[in-house]
Structure 1
Amino acid sequence: MTKSGGALTKANLRVDASPLLAAQTVRIVPTAAQVRSAGAIGPEDFALVTNNIDRALCTGLSERFKVVAANQPADLIVRATVTDIVKTNRAAAATSTVASLGVGAVFAVPVPRLPIGLGGLSVEAEAVGQDGSQAAAMVWARGANMLTTRARISMIGDAYSLASAFGNDFARMLVAGRDPFHGSTTGLSLQKMKASLGGDPKYEACKAFGSASGLKGAVAGQLGLPPAWTDKGAEPVQAAHAIGASAAVAVPNGMLAAPSQTNQ
């Protein structure tokens, strides 16, 4: 695998452009969680994080591929596993939220978060062909940033926010057939904008992951509310699968750890 990433993201990746660019259909296996030291994070919270990855993947992959349901054949099969979550410190997040709301109301300027208690997320993912050969793989890790990641009063607040960032990065790699961290990037398409506002996805298969929280979620994020307050999660059948797949077990070797932050 080749080392890559950006200013905020650590990544190792492998990409074979030929099978990716030749593929027309893709199937998404619901993201699993294999996390060391899960602590007090419950299966419902894990399911919110993993489903947010799947939702972002489905929206991003829809830009070029036809996304098919779980019972249909596809040129590519995409699967991801959450390998680490650095918990957000809720007390620090609450303090940052109060400071942001107070100062923002008076001076109308953004206020950085406290540089403590920031969370993080690590994910491994691959895309394989019908014959089982690997067409692409990525090991991804990112920590919350005190300037760009909005504080949410939840242990998974930062991991939830970063989940969509991973989904976007991996989807861009598969769509373009190249390193997503280098080269030009495309703007937000009308379909992506519609999906981010809670509208219907391009393909029926994506409805399994539920709708984005839209404007309601954006307002809740500004107020620092937990993701569970506005994200209804996956459809019932998919949600049951996600909760079952989110058991905390030992992390496989080769994991790229999430950037460490002080969260006490």
Structure 2
Amino acid sequence: MPFRSKLYEMPPRAALCVVLVSSVSGCTSIPLGEGASLGSYAGMTTSGGTLTKAKLRVEAAPVLAARTARIVPTSVQLRGGSTFDSKDLALVSNTIDRTLCTGLSDRFEIVGPNQSADLVVHATVTNIIATNQTAAAGSTVASIGATVALPVPIPRLPIGLGGLAVEAEAVGSDGSQKAAMLWSRGANMITTRARVSEVGDAYSLSSAFASDFSRMLVKGRDPFKGMPSMPSMQRINASLGGKPKYDACTAFGRAPGVTGAVAGRLGLPPRWTDKGATAPQ
């Protein structure tokens, strides 16, 4: 009997469990490798979660003592070169910056590019696995068509899933590295919504990386350990497209908000709703 037919015959809770279990194997594997942008790769420990691969180090005392932070726009240094559209890459890197700025605003005062800061934060995209646009379109059509009939999430097609790898560090005012992270995650069948764009999955995953890295700096510890906390009101406001807490964050533009969420559900390319940075990066 086809998998989907079996789901229809199950109670909703049982069907949901089957979908979630199947999604664990239905994900892209993306290597966790060193790039060339960090001041040091020494002393990192393996971390991460169920879906995320990570290595990190953080000096808790100086990070927690810091009060101001400056974000250097994210760079793109893809292993083996790039065949992606430059505008699409700019959206991925800017989403990292925008999410970093929002996340760090929970504890730090974010200052502009010409101001001194206790911590200078910089990320580099090192690898992107392209999303297969045909498979993403098929997944979107199937999901929209089945949503009304089946009250559980419909997994994506387990082909053509994309991925993202990023590395980042925070450097103190003395020029030494205070925190660093290598991070990679592949899209999966259930939690990464399909978007018809070569960078659709990388775009979706970019905010996940930035949330993990900013949480490490805000808490001064491994962000993958401990219980997750509720998002602050300023983060909720920013995610809905509201004005950021600090003026320095306006350079990265506003999140697409509700319009972007609807576009994501429809599988539309990120560039249709995300206006990107407001200032040259």
Q: Same fold (TM over 0.5)?
A: yes
State the Cα distance separating 1:105 from its structure 2 match. 2.8
Give the stretch that moved more between structures: 101-110 or 63-72: 101-110
Verify: 1:202 aligned to 2:245, yes or no.
yes
Verify: 1:124 aligned to 2:167, yes or no.
yes
Amino acid at match of 1:206: C
Verify: 1:138 aligned to 2:186, yes or no.
no
Amino acid at match of 2:165: S
State the Cα distance separating 1:189 from its structure 2 match. 1.1
Residue in structure 2 matched with residue 30 of structure 1 by the alignment: 73
Verify: 1:227 aligned to 2:273, yes or no.
no
Structure 1: tracts of 5 or more residues without a match: 242-264
Question: 2:121 is matched with which residue: 75, 78, 83?
Answer: 78
Please list the CA deviations of residues 74-103 of structure 1 after superposition, one character each: whole Å capped at 9, or x if unmatched.
000000000000000000000000000001
Amino acid at match of 2:175: G
| CA distance in structure 1 between the partners assigned to 2:102 and 2:164 by the alignment | 20
2:261 partner SS: helix
Please list the CA deviations of residues 115-157 of structure 1 after superposition, one character each: whole Å capped at 9, or x if unmatched.
1100000000000001111100000000001110000000000
| CA distance in structure 2 between the partners assigned to 1:31 and 1:142 by the alignment | 18
Q: In the TM superposition, what are the counterparts of 1:57-76 in structure 2 within 5 Å?
A: 57-76=100-119
State the Cα distance separating 1:40 from its structure 2 match. 3.3
State the Cα distance separating 1:108 from its structure 2 match. 4.0
Residue in structure 2 matched with residue 246 of structure 1 by the alignment: none
Amino acid at match of 1:40: T
State the Cα distance separating 1:215 from its structure 2 match. 0.3
Amino acid at match of 1:119: G
Residue in structure 2 matched with residue 165 of structure 1 by the alignment: 208
Structure 2: tracts of 5 or more residues without a match: 1-43
Give the stretch that moved more between structures: 185-194 or 154-163: 185-194
Residue in structure 1 matched with residue 46 of structure 2 by the alignment: 3
Verify: 1:56 aligned to 2:99, yes or no.
yes
| CA distance in structure 1 between the partners assigned to 2:228 and 2:119 by the alignment | 23
1:83 partner SS: strand
- On the 8 A contact 1:103/1:109 being kept in 2, the answer is no
Verify: 1:218 aligned to 2:261, yes or no.
yes
| CA distance in structure 2 between the partners assigned to 1:97 and 1:108 by the alignment | 16
State the Cα distance separating 1:38 from its structure 2 match. 4.7
1:167 partner SS: helix
Give the stretch that moved more between structures: 107-116 or 224-233: 107-116
1:10 partner SS: strand
Residue in structure 1 matched with residue 6 of structure 2 by the alignment: none
State the Cα distance separating 1:43 from its structure 2 match. 1.0
How many residues in Structure 1 have an aligned counterpart in Structure 2?
A: 238
Larger Rg: 2
Amino acid at match of 2:84: I
| CA distance in structure 2 between the partners assigned to 1:135 and 1:105 by the alignment | 50
1:193 partner SS: helix
Residue in structure 1 matched with residue 197 of structure 2 by the alignment: 154
Amino acid at match of 1:8: L
Amino acid at match of 1:146: M
Instruction: Give the % identical residues.
Output: 66
Please list the CA deviations of residues 5-26 of structure 1 after superposition, one character each: whole Å capped at 9, or x if unmatched.
0000000001100110000000
Amino acid at match of 2:95: N
Question: 2:235 is matched with which residue: 192, 204, 211?
Answer: 192
Amino acid at match of 1:100: S
| CA distance in structure 1 between the partners assigned to 2:260 and 2:276 by the alignment | 12
Amino acid at match of 1:129: G
Which one has more relative contact order, counting CA pairs under 8 Å at least 6 apart?
Answer: 1
State the Cα distance separating 1:186 from its structure 2 match. 1.4
Residue in structure 2 matched with residue 110 of structure 1 by the alignment: 153
Q: In the TM superposition, what are the counterparts of 1:234-245 in structure 2 within 5 Å?
A: 234-235=277-278, 237-238=279-280, 241=281
Amino acid at match of 1:5: G
2:212 partner SS: helix
- On the 8 A contact 1:15/1:137 being kept in 2, the answer is yes
Which runs of at least 4 in structure 1 moved beyond 6 Å after TM superposition?
none
